Structure formats: C-alpha cells, structure tokens
C-alpha cells in the first residue's frame, strides 16, 4: 500500500513563474491537506480538500495560491507569479473518510522543496 506521493520532490522557479505541486493521497483516503514549512519553523496549515471540494482554505494566502482535488487525478497546489518568499517545503497529508479517533491521524508525503531564484 503506497504512502502519500508528492512530485516533484524539488522544484526551482524564477520569480514570476508558476509552480505546480502534485499530491496523490494514500489509497482509500479522501481527505487531503496541504502544509508549508519555512526554514526553522513548524508546519503551517494551508488548505483542506475533499474530492472536488475545498473545505477550508483559511491558511492559504489570498492571492496567487490556489488548490484543487479533482474527481480523477492528484491534488494540485498552484502558486502563480512566485516570489522569493514562497521558497519553502510544501507537504501534503491525507486521512481516511471516517472521523473517529483512529482516523484523525494525517499521513504525510515526502514534500516538495520549492526554491525561487
């Protein structure tokens, strides 16, 4: 049973370009979360999605950032017109549908390290 998959693992962009980060949740998981980790900091929640629905995007910057989780295919975190401050590690996590204690655990992918030159 494959874990959470993210690609690419490393992404380099110049200022003003677009960055697309992909996340495939664990098999059987229908909840996807995106987090961002800046250097020497903890992970910060960005957005929570279910298939075809954004449930909570309260942690997402209002401009340039968007996320989707289509019916088919991976979840995508899209950053338009990247700036140097977007350089960070972006982690995706997934969890199953059920909401009892055992399934409150989120399982993380290996992350995408975005570097903006």
Q: How far apart are CA 83 and CA 24, in angstroms?
A: 26
Segment near another protein (CB under 8 A); pick from 14-22, 31-39, 68-76, 79-87: 31-39
Spatial separation of the C-alpha atoms in residues 17 and 8, rounded to whole Å: 16
- Asked if 43 interacts with another protein (CB under 8 A), we say yes
Residue keyed to tokens 């992350």: 111
Q: Could you give the CA distance from residue 45 to residue 42 in angstroms, rounded to a whole number?
A: 10
Asked if residue 11 binds another protein (CB under 8 A), the reply is: no
Residue 99 as a binder of another protein (CB under 8 A): the answer is: yes
DSSP conformation class of 97: S
Q: Which residue has the tokens 């295919």?
A: 73
Can you tell me the distance from the alpha carbon of 56 to that of 59, in angstroms, rounded to the nearest whole number? 8
Q: Which of 13, 24, 33, 34 binds another protein (CB under 8 A)?
A: 33
By the rule CB under 8 A, 69 interacts with another protein:
no
Closer by beta carbon to another protein, 41 or else 72: 41
Q: Is 1 in the site for another protein (CB under 8 A)?
A: no
Residues at the contact surface with another protein, assessed by CB under 8 A = 4, 6, 31, 33, 35, 40-45, 48, 55-56, 91, 93, 95, 99, 101, 104-111, 113
């Amino acid at each position: 049973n494959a874990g959470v998959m993210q690609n690419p693992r490393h992404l380099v962009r110049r200022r003003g370009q677009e960055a697309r980060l992909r996340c495939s949740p664990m098999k059987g998981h229908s909840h996807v979360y995106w987090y961002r980790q800046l250097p020497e900091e903890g992970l910060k929640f960005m957005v929570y999605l279910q298939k075809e629905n954004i449930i909570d995007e309260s942690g997402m910057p209002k401009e340039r950032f968007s996320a989707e989780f289509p019916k088919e295919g991976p979840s995508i975190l899209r950053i338009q017109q990247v700036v140097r401050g977007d350089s960070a590690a972006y982690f995706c996590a997934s969890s199953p549908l059920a909401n009892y204690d055992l399934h409150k655990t989120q399982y993380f992918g290996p992350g995408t390290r975005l570097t903006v030159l």
